[in-house]
Amino acid sequence: MKQSTYQQLRSHLAYLGLPAAAEALPTHLDHARQHNIGHTQFLEGLLRVEVETTEQRRWETRLKLANFPTRWQLGDFDFSAQPSIDEKLVRELVTGGYLADATNVLFIGPPGVGKTMLAVILGRAAVDTGHKVYYTTAADLAARCRKAALQGKWARTIRFFNTPKVLIIDELGYLPMPAEDAATLFQVISRRYGKGSIILTTNLGVASWGEIFSDHTIAAAMLDRLLHKSVVFNITGDSYRLRSYQAQARKQRPKGDPLT
């Protein structure tokens, strides 16, 4: 039996891998008939359905592959709690201009001041604007490369850390790094140099980087590449967690308690 034009159209859409457009076809046809919509507008509307579905799916994939520890976004950050952070600068970075020339962003400060949160917020903004992002801790990155080296996959793993537009390296300096790991980290940083941004968080000021790596030459070479094009946040102030814990404790203590 000969197929109707409508059926042919549906099977073309399915054959071309446009399932959302195929599914939307009957309603879009009805709508076009009822409102006397022209061919161009009809086709644009139908294909837009497919484009939007694809965009949504790609965004979800990017978000999943980004490996963020949580789904923090800019609105979750309380700037009033951390006056040492330049809010205007954070808001500007969220728009993603720094990605074009592979500028790095460093968050330096003691535990609990929001370094990981800010790194994830910037990463999430990059995902939302269509970029590939990957989050890792410095310790995980080193462990993964070490394991890969044993399996003969070191080069591939280094390439993996080179592919995303933004690589977040969290918690540098929490654990001291053996020379081999420092060399790996240096490889990752220098290969990305000038090509893709790194967002790095650390509890150690740059002057103390020699302590993390025990090798001052490598520390200096890493800093040289990281800082060449960079935005640095030196966060001073109290731990957010500690502060909210203290506020909670104050509330729970009876009035007139001499400790408050």
- Count, residues near Mg ion per rule CB under 5 A: 1
Q: In sequence order, what are the beta bridge partners of 106?
A: 200, 232
HEC string for the chain: CCCCHHHHHHHHHHHCCCHHHHHHHHHHHHHHHHCCCCHHHHHHHHHHHHHHHHHHHHHHHHHHHCCCCCCCCHHHCCHHHCCCCCHHHHHHHHCCHHHCCCCEEEEECCCCCCHHHHHHHHHHHHHHCCCCEEEEEHHHHHHHHHHHHHCCCHHHHHHHCCCCCEEEEEEECCCCCCHHHHHHHHHHHHHHCCCCEEEEEECCCHHHHHHHHCCHHHHHHHHHHHHHCEEEEECCCCCHHHHHHHHHHHHHCCCCCCCC
Residue pair 67/163 in contact (Cβ under 8 Å)? The answer is: no
Q: Which stretch binds ligand ADP (CB under 6 A): 22-30, 73-81, 144-152, 181-189?
A: 73-81
Binding marks (x or -) toward ligand ADP, 167..206, rule CB under 6 A? ----------------------------------x-----
By CB under 6 A, name the one of 9, 74, 81, 206 that touches ligand ADP: 81
Two tokens at 172? 């540098």
Residues 121-150 that bind ligand ADP (CB under 6 A): none
Closest CB to ligand ADP among 197 and 201? 201
Residue 164's binding partner out of Mg ion, ligand ADP, none, with CB under 5 to 8 Å set by partner kind:
none
Two tokens at 217? 């030459």
Q: How far apart are CA 163 and CA 214, in angstroms?
A: 29
State the nearest-atom distance from the C-beta of 112 to Mg ion, in Å. Answer: 8
Closest CB to ligand ADP among 153 and 243? 243
Q: Which stretch binds ligand ADP (CB under 6 A): 30-38, 46-54, 78-86, 178-186?
A: 78-86
Q: Is 116 in the site for Mg ion (CB under 5 A)?
A: yes
By CB under 6 A, name the one of 115, 131, 165, 192 that touches ligand ADP: 115
By CB under 6 A, name the one of 66, 90, 99, 116 that touches ligand ADP: 116
By CB under 6 A, name the one of 18, 68, 82, 233 that touches ligand ADP: 82
Closest CA to 206 of 108, 77, 76: 108
By CB under 6 A, name the one of 13, 20, 108, 113 that touches ligand ADP: 113
Closest CB to Mg ion among 79 and 240? 240
Q: Which stretch binds ligand ADP (CB under 6 A): 33-41, 106-114, 136-144, 189-197?
A: 106-114
Residue 82's binding partner out of ligand ADP, Mg ion, none, with CB under 5 to 8 Å set by partner kind:
ligand ADP
By CB under 6 A, name the binding residues for ligand ADP.
Answer: 77-78, 81-82, 109, 111-117, 201, 240-241
